[in-house]
Chains A and B, each alone.
Chain A
Amino acid sequence: MTHEEKTKKPSDEELIERFQNGDLYAFDLIVKRYKNQLLNFVYRFLGNSEEAEDLVQETFLRVYRNRKAYQKVAKFSTWIYTIAGNLAKTELRKRKRRKFFSITDLGYDDKDYDISDEAFNPEKTVDGSIKEEIIHQEIQSLSPKFREVILLRDVQELSYEEISKIVNIPLGTVKSRVNRGRLKLQEKLKHLLKN
């Protein structure tokens, strides 16, 4: 084995194949490679970091449990993002049901959305962290179908083709959803995005 081959980073597909053959270290490498990027995707999707971490744990558990179900024809990243995305959507549906049954539930995570009135005043200067919080909040206000594709495209920087496979909708629909999502979001954030 040449030095280049030794130092070459194994691809995701190589790692999952090794894991399928019983190499648990390969699974740890997959976790290391994906845990933070999945966390950021789920966090922006659900709006709550603790829940997001729990859901990412669940994603890896499912990868572990269903490792034999993965087939080489698909990209590993597509597979793992699909699992995480489906879990996140299920969580949103549960949340909706909880909200429906609890009239006292005024907000899922009030703390996360607790922005001071000052932050909404376009006349005042808002610092970076408040801007960040406002953007985060406005992402949450998008409907899940727009939120998911926007996050996959603009935060995770995945290709339209991959997003199409993850979300399981045609490529043209993904493109139009991303565009419409961006238009909605820029409208909501007009005061932050002005010159």
Chain B
Amino acid sequence: MKKCKRFKRLISDYIEGALNVTDKTSFESHLQDCVNCADTVSRVTKLSTRMKKLKHIKTSEDFNTVLHTRIRIESGIGRRRLHEIVWSWPAKVPVYGMALAIIVIAVVLVLEQIDNPYQSPAPAPYINAEWYGGNPDQQTSSDILTETENVIYVIERTSPEKLIQSQGQSLNSSYLDSINRTQDSDSLTLRNSQSYQVNQIVY
């Protein structure tokens, strides 16, 4: 069996006449004694011959035409033609039409902005409150920061009753129910019905 395995490795060399004389003699001597190996050699020989006789198929008749077309596209001639078609006059009409429509819409939007320069922007999620520290006519150095500095009132979610004044923070408008403005001061009413007095809100 071990011998068969070794000889099976040499079958192709044997049928193709590539074995040297010594190997060929010992191979043939084994075939005399081993029917299994002799059958295998016979089948491999037949198979090899049969494979060479397998039916050959031919390319389709338009093979060359298709190939030349693909090459033309590949080499750019086709692409140029496609480009010409895309940019031919009938094809340009919808493209130019669309471009004109975009320009008209843009101009209308710009004109609308010019007509109504005070149109309020979209509501911001936060209201910034600028604190002047009391009546603007009686300002003291202790209760005013600077006019340019923003002091923003913050209502904390955890303790809505607490109104904190702090720089750089925001009053979340979602807590805000209403703002009552008077000449001297403003008051905020929150959604939990608590009211807070603030001096002035700028928003």
Contacts and interface: CB of A to CB of B under 8 A. Distances in A.
Interface of A: 28, 31, 35-36, 39-40, 43-44, 49, 53, 56-57, 60-61, 64-65, 132, 135-136, 150, 154-155, 157, 175-176, 178-179, 182-183, 185-186, 189-190, 193-195
Given A57-B70, A61-B70, A154 B51 contact: yes
Contact of B74 (A49, A61, A182): A61
Interface in B54-71: 54-60, 63-64, 66-67, 70-71
A186 B41 CA distance: 10
A179 B11 contact: yes
Given A35-B59, A53-B59, A186 B12 contact: no
Nearest to B18: A175
Interface stretch (B42-50, B98-106, B119-127): B42-50
Q: Which of A39, A60, A179, A195 has the most CB of B within 10 A?
A: A179
A182 B67 contact: no
Q: Which of A31, A186, A190, A195 has the most CB of B within 10 A?
A: A186
Interface residues of B, number: 29
Interface of B: 8-9, 11-13, 40, 42-44, 46-48, 50-52, 54-60, 63-64, 66-67, 70-71, 74
B13 A175 contact: yes
B11 A57 contact: no
Top 3 nearest A-B pairs by Cβ distance? Answer: A154-B51, A179-B12, A186-B43
Given A40-B56, A157-B52, A193-B47, 4 more contacts: A57-B67, A154-B51, A179-B12, A194-B43
B67 A31 contact: yes
Given A176-B9, A183-B40, A36 B56 contact: yes
B54 A183 contact: no
Contacts of B12: 175, 178-179, 182
Contact of B67 (A61, A65, A183, A195): A61
28 contacts: A31-B67, A35-B63, A36-B56, A40-B57, A43-B57, A49-B57, A61-B70, A61-B74, A132-B54, A132-B55, A135-B51, A150-B51, A154-B48, A154-B52, A155-B54, A157-B52, A179-B11, A179-B12, A179-B13, A182-B11, A182-B12, A182-B44, A183-B8, A186-B43, A186-B46, A189-B43, A193-B43, A193-B50
A186 B51 contact: no
Contacts of A183: 8, 11, 40, 44
Contacts of B58: 36, 39
A111 to B, nearest CB: 15
A160 B38 CA distance: 25
B51 A155 contact: yes
A57 B63 contact: yes
Q: Which of A64, A136, A176 has the most CB of B within 10 A?
A: A64
A190 B44 CA distance: 10
B1 to A, nearest CB: 15
Contacts of B42: 193, 195
